[in-house]
Chain A
Amino acid sequence: MFNPTDIIDLLAANVRQTRNPFGVRPSRFNTWWRGLSGFTRRPGDALLFTGLMYQAIPYINATTRYLERLEGSSWAGCLRWGRLVPASLRGRGLSVLTSGADRKKFNGILQTICRLLRQSEVNFFYHPEMDFYSGILLYDLGDQDGFVRHARFVARTLQLHGVRKVITVDPHTTYALKELYPRYTGASFEVQPYFSLLQCRGSERGNGKPPVVLHDPCFYGRYLELSEGPRRVLRDLGLEYVEVRNCGEFTSCCGGPAESVSPALNREILGRRAAELKAAAAPVVTFCPICLANLLKAGLPVEDLASLVGRYLAPEEK
């Protein structure tokens, strides 16, 4: 296990300097929307707010690969000097280490969500300059001051642009905007996860397809109690799903939150959850980028809810 303060100080410095935990310039980091057909900036009723979580996965994967090698070695202590390196250099170095295939894959999920929302005739817009990392990792790690400072900046920017309604795509950002921002910044937004807006009734295109097994993320299952939303989408599509014993509000953690301070602990927790899911003998579907990346690491056949639904409801234009 790394010294948590070394990790927190490094992440906090990155968020202060670049508004994301990796020290990567936003123009390099948030590129999924480029070249997307039918892309709309304004007008629109609700802002699609990705919280940069799907975009972050290739960077998390690259970081974790190196942390895994460092953990427990005599070099682990060197992390504390990382914050002395300028954020721009840290970010550039990390960008080089990320895989292009990973970036394409996770950006593709956001593009699918965009297509699904359009297909469901949701009145939304996207503006990359209004899309920020929520700061949730700082909150989870206990850096309250760093989180509140960043959250206030994000909330103020959204308020300045007159944003009232927000559509989110992952549980961590949804929790931050729905529960933490009102408490710590005083700013309230009407927050809805994208799957609660999808209209699939009557399509029943999934009839006769093999069942999938669901992995609920902790934040949707317990903190926000939104596990029913994705199930409703699958039912409306006529897709069968299997429940494992630990599901919904009693879902098991995938180990993702331990990734930054102890990749070894992450592997231990992930192994246990992977075994539970494997026993169901069906492809796994989840709706959180952190869970998705983790379960992929365990070698499970797993895909994001958006990718699955997108195949039936809004196939990619060739």
Chain B
Amino acid sequence: MAELEVRLPLSDEVIEQLRAGDSVQLSGTVYAARDAAHKRMAEAIARGEAVPVDVRGQVIYYVGPTPARPGAVIGSAGPTTAMRLDPYTIALLEAGLKGAIGKGGRGPKVREALVRHRAVYFLAVGGAGALLSKHIRSVELVAYEDLGTEAVRRLELDGFPVIVCNDVHGGDLLEQGKAQWQRAAG
């Protein structure tokens, strides 16, 4: 399990290199979007309309931050549960999305689609929103301002700590971790 520093956007070479369980520090641009924004984007795609973010080659961070205090870039900003976004994720992968950051595992269909579309799912530590906010250098509103905390935002990450959960070779950290650490109950 390697420790790597990765500059975004993810290159094809880096994507092939990443393995489930690798600790990665991400720097560069990601897009913040969670439930309500995904629903809107999925509805737009279904109607054949443009979505506010060209997701080709991009990484989405599932986050709805607390409001920034005066003088701060952002409030607390940790990941939300990824599985709720599963119903919207495959369409975004088909549109060229290359990565997502969240917490908890993905369903079998998304895991398979990640391999097929050569994209990576990263875990960030849920409940570490204060710490993670220190690795976000800037925030810019992109779309759906009316959604408040759920609006789409462009974030500039700086050494943001994540762990590779699902790699393009079919590796799944959650399965590997359980297999390694479970034991017969006494």
**Chain B binds chain A:** no
State the A residues within 8 Å of B (CB). none
